[in-house]
Amino acid sequence: MSSMQSSSSGNVTFVRPATFFINGFSNVPHVKYYYVFLSLVYVVTVLGNSFIMCIIYLARRLHTAKYIAVFHLALCDLCESSVLIPKIIDTFLFEHQDISYEACLVYMFNLLHFMNLQSLTLIVLAYDRLVAICFPLQYHAIVTKPAMFLVLGVLWSFSVTFFSVHVSSLNRLSFCRSNVVDNYFCDYGPIYRLACNDTSLNFLLFKICFSLLIVTPVILIFISYFCIALVLLKIPRGDRIKAIKTCSSHLMLVAVFYLPILSNNIASTMTPLPSNIRIINNSLTQIIPPMLNPIIYTLKTEEVMQSIKVLYKSSKVNTTRERILKCSRRI
């Protein structure tokens, strides 16, 4: 532990490590292949989310409030993966397992912030489906583009404020035991448990963070779909099937994002998992949803598929026109 800081108010000495050591996997044969797999996942994630963002930007029919939220989800998926995966590869494949105290906190903030935005955006999309099915006549008056930009702006402000306080709370701790983080990234829980002074506030913030990221969104989305189900039971079967189809892509996103996280947390409370299995489960939980989300929205949403076909046909027409112009100039 190489750096010490004293608070001027109460003569309290805070011992902080100059660096943390990210422990990661231990005694796993051929673990480098896992990092190669992460590299492939990252490439697919970047291409997939960039593709869906380009389609939404180029297709005029997708310039709606709903697809502003979808664009935002793809952007958050891209940012979260870009924060996490390259750093994991650099840390373990190239053996840069030491990270400075300040860089660790910045890394933690960025990752938690974008994960939280992913979760909150799924709530926004659930609200979109709730209004579309339960109040179809008022949908275009309620879910407008200005309203969507306002909601997303509030989400960013809230997330930045909360996680600034959340991560900054680690500065009140004294790390006089160890600087070894038993995880694959600078995670809040494993770090505050290394402290040797009172961590009750950090434990409370940790629980609030879990509730904010997982529990509250799941409850709100469940309530939304419970209300949707009540409405669907009252409409004719043909209209019911059409309405369910409009919800299918969002339901798949919700399942892909929340079920692995909830399963991991339930499993860890019932039986303590070995460190290597826990790290693999948690890392896959964080990297797979951002890769699958654009694939789900592309394949399961008719509006997106139609927009892709229109853009493809218009690009072929433009290419043909350019060729004709070139030929006519030569003649």
Q: What is the pLDDT of residue 299?
A: 74
pLDDT in tens, 160-192: 999 999 999 998 888 887 889 888 889 898 899
Quote the tokens at residue 174. 């004294």
Residue 3 scores a pLDDT above 60: no
Q: What is the pLDDT of residue 128?
A: 94
pLDDT in tens, 232-265: 988 888 888 888 888 888 899 999 999 888 888 7
Quote the tokens at residue 265. 């947390």
pTM of the model: 0.89
Cβ-contact 22, 181 below 8 angstroms = yes
What's the burial of 66, exposed, middle or buried (CB within 10 Å: 0-12/13-18/19+)?
buried
Q: What is the pLDDT of residue 280?
A: 85
pLDDT in tens, 189-224: 889 988 888 888 889 988 888 888 888 999 999 999
φ, ψ for residue 177 (rounded to 5)? -105, -70
pLDDT band at 328 (very low <50, low <70, confident <90, very high): low
* b/e map 96-121, b = 16+ CB within 10 Å: ebebebeebbebbbbbbbbbbbbbbb
> Mean pLDDT score of the chain, rounded to an integer?
86
Q: Which of 96-110, 130-144, 270-284 has the lowest mean pLDDT?
A: 270-284
Q: Could you give the 3-state DSSP secondary structure of residue 22?
A: strand
Q: What is the pLDDT of residue 106?
A: 94
Q: What is the pLDDT of residue 4?
A: 41
**What's the gap between Cα 40 and its chain centre?**
18
Quote the tokens at residue 72. 């935002």
Say how far apart CA 197 and CA 250 lie, in whole Å: 44
pLDDT in tens, 53-63: 999 999 888 89
Q: What is the pLDDT of residue 25?
A: 80
- What H or E segment, with its residue span, contains residue 180? strand 180-181
**CA gyration radius for the chain?**
24
What's the distance, Cα to Cα, between the start and end of the chain in Å?
A: 78
Quote the tokens at residue 171. 């500065």
**Which domains are delineated in the chain?**
18-300 (1.20.1070.10)
Nearest to 74 by CA among 16, 18, 122: 122
Residue 1 scores a pLDDT above 50: no
pLDDT band at 16 (very low <50, low <70, confident <90, very high): confident
Q: What is the pLDDT of residue 234?
A: 86
Q: What is the pLDDT of residue 264?
A: 81
Say how far apart CA 251 and CA 253 lie, in whole Å: 5
Q: What is the pLDDT of residue 330?
A: 63
* b/e map 290-322, b = 16+ CB within 10 Å: bbbbbebbbebbebbeebbeeeeeeeeeeeeee
Residue 99 scores a pLDDT above 60: yes
Say how far apart CA 148 and CA 105 lie, in whole Å: 31
More confident residue, 226 or 95: 226
Quote the tokens at residue 218. 């799941």
